[in-house]
């Protein structure tokens, strides 16, 4: 078998067509070409069914009822925690805190660990490619504590300047917060190296895994980070649920950030005492069905295998990169040597929003805009990009539809210019 055949082989979808019912519905009278997976992925039948089944067969509140159904729901919820632990290779299940998603997980760290530990003059190191959700919580924290942000620059390919990173580290650095995969550029950051450098100056490390967990195996112990955040909905799971991994030695010393039921040990008007982690950080009735759905999503991708998914998407990304770059007037934004899933590009003379609308009429869903990463757009001197992002169910037909859609947009705009 020669090389091109190998590629075709690996671009075959990894799922069964019936796994994703939504992909069967036409959009605007066309086959849906869903390439907005960086925003959210579609949900397999297994996830939809797991949530439905939970409400039909297992629904009760958790951690409080003495009745059978409450114990059953609690078991499912805690099994979900164990599923996440295994997925990230955390050392223990208590290191997994359920949150609404990545954003809430990062805010939890900023508000709990950050407020308790940072003071004026301390430094937080971020990178120029962070999503707003890994910038703004730290800005809020800095405003409150007097700590300061330091930003690692990126080069023209969209890779971190690691020399500049090392130069920024010093004894005042308390935290390094970095995306595992950039949502706007697709760059995969060397988080293991980044963490090792941070450790050398005694700083903690938070990795924003929102764009990584669906596209590659993640091992938080191998990375050596203290915090790792992700959302289920970018991992074929439901919206409104995600998780924070926090290393036990750090987590157990962190104060509560939201008060309420479930997070306390005792409550009196003289004062209350806190439950141990992770319950300390899960005030109120959580998204129980969401945890069940997230666990089903993790089981689904684990059964296919993250290595296989990574290989499939990498082949597809290479195919798409080559095809899109052949089009005249198309320029990629983000050409890092290590990339995952994301193809961000500009087309000369066509604003990303016009392109988005024209592709939409072809049934092609992509994202157009700044992708909640305004500093990245500023770095490249552009208002926004068009972004196609791939998932395990995409194949070469989707790339071909994208290329045909871009050609059509160009013909429309050039045709307008010719008359």
Binding site for another protein (CB under 8 A): 28, 350-354, 357-358, 361, 368-370, 374, 377, 383-384, 408, 411-413, 415-417, 419
Pick the catalytic residue: 11, 142, 225, 372?
372
Residue 35's alpha-carbon distances to 229, 339, 387, 398, in angstroms, are 23, 16, 8, 8
Helix axes 288-304, 68-88, angle to 10 degrees: 40
Cβ proximity of 230 and 210 under 8 Å: yes
31 vs 63 by CB, closer to another protein: 31
Residue 95's alpha-carbon distances to 172, 252, 351, 361, in angstroms, are 27, 9, 45, 45
Closest CB 36 distance from another protein, rounded Å: 14
Cis amide linkage into residue 77, ω under 30° from 0: no
Closest CB 325 distance from another protein, rounded Å: 23
7 vs 408 by CB, closer to another protein: 408
136 vs 283 by CB, closer to another protein: 136
Closest CB 290 distance from another protein, rounded Å: 27
Closest CB 413 distance from another protein, rounded Å: 7
Cβ proximity of 309 and 153 under 8 Å: no
Closest CB 138 distance from another protein, rounded Å: 20
143 vs 417 by CB, closer to another protein: 417
Beta-carbon contacts of 151 under 8 Å, excluding residues fewer than 6 positions away, are 125, 126, 127, 128, 375
160 vs 401 by CB, closer to another protein: 401
Closest CB 155 distance from another protein, rounded Å: 22
147 vs 364 by CB, closer to another protein: 364
Cβ proximity of 62 and 194 under 8 Å: no
- Provide the token pair at 178: 């970095």
CA 305 – CA 302 distance, rounded (Å): 5
| DSSP bridge partners of 271 | 268
Active site residue 372: yes
CA 111 – CA 115 distance, rounded (Å): 5
From the CB of residue 9, how many other CB atoms can be counted at a distance below 10 Å? Answer: 11
Closest CB 28 distance from another protein, rounded Å: 8
Cβ proximity of 173 and 148 under 8 Å: no
- What is the end-to-end Cα distance of the chain in Å, rounded? 49
Residue 78's alpha-carbon distances to 60, 71, 196, 301, 359, in angstroms, are 14, 10, 32, 20, 43
84 vs 350 by CB, closer to another protein: 350
Strand bridging mode 173-179 / 204-208: parallel
Cβ proximity of 124 and 174 under 8 Å: yes
Closest CB 339 distance from another protein, rounded Å: 23
166 vs 377 by CB, closer to another protein: 377
- Provide the token pair at 363: 């049934």
- Provide the token pair at 52: 């439905």
Active centre residues (catalytic): 372
């Amino acid at each position: 078998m020669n090389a091109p055949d190998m590629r075709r082989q690996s671009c075959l979808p990894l799922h069964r067509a019936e796994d994703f019912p939504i992909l069967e519905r036409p959009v605007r009278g066309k086959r849906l070409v869903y390439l907005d997976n960086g925003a959210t992925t579609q949900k397999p039948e297994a996830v939809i069914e797991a949530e439905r089944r939970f409400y039909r067969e297992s629904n009760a509140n958790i951690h409080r009822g003495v009745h059978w159904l409450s114990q059953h729901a609690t078991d499912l919820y805690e099994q979900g925690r164990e599923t996440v632990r295994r997925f990230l290779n955390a050392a223990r299940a208590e290191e997994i805190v359920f949150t609404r998603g990545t954003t809430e997980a990062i805010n939890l760290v900023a508000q709990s660990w950050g407020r308790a530990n940072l003071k004026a003059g301390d430094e937080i190191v971020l990178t120029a490619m962070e999503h707003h959700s890994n910038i703004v919580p730290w800005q809020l924290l800095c405003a409150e504590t007097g700590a300061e942000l330091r930003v690692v620059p990126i080069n023209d390919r969209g890779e971190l300047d690691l020399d500049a990173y090392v130069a920024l580290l010093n004894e005042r650095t308390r935290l390094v917060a970095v995306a595992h995969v950039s949502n706007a550029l697709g760059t995969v950051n060397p988080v293991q190296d980044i963490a090792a450098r941070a450790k050398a100056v005694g700083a903690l490390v938070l990795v924003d895994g929102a764009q990584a967990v669906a596209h590659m195996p993640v091992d938080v112990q191998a990375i050596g980070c203290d915090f790792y955040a992700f959302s289920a909905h970018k991992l074929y799971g439901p919206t409104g649920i995600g998780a924070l991994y926090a290393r036990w030695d750090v987590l157990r010393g962190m104060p509560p950030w939201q008060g309420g039921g479930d997070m306390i040990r005792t409550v009196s008007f003289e004062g209350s005492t806190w439950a141990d982690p992770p319950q300390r950080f899960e005030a109120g009735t959580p998204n129980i069905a969401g945890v069940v759905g997230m666990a089903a999503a993790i089981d689904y991708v684990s059964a296919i295998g993250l290595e296989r998914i990574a290989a499939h998407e990498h082949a597809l990304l290479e195919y798409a990169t080559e095809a899109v770059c052949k089009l005249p007037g198309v320029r990629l934004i983000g050409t890092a040597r290590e990339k995952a899933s994301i193809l961000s590009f500009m087309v000369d003379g066509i604003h990303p929003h016009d392109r988005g609308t024209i592709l939409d009429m072809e049934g092609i869903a992509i994202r157009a805009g700044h992708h909640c990463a305004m500093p990245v757009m500023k770095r490249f001197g552009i208002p926004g990009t068009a972004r196609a992002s791939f998932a395990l169910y995409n194949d070469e037909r989707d790339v071909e539809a994208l290329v045909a859609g871009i050609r059509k947009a160009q013909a429309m705009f050039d045709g307008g210019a010719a008359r």
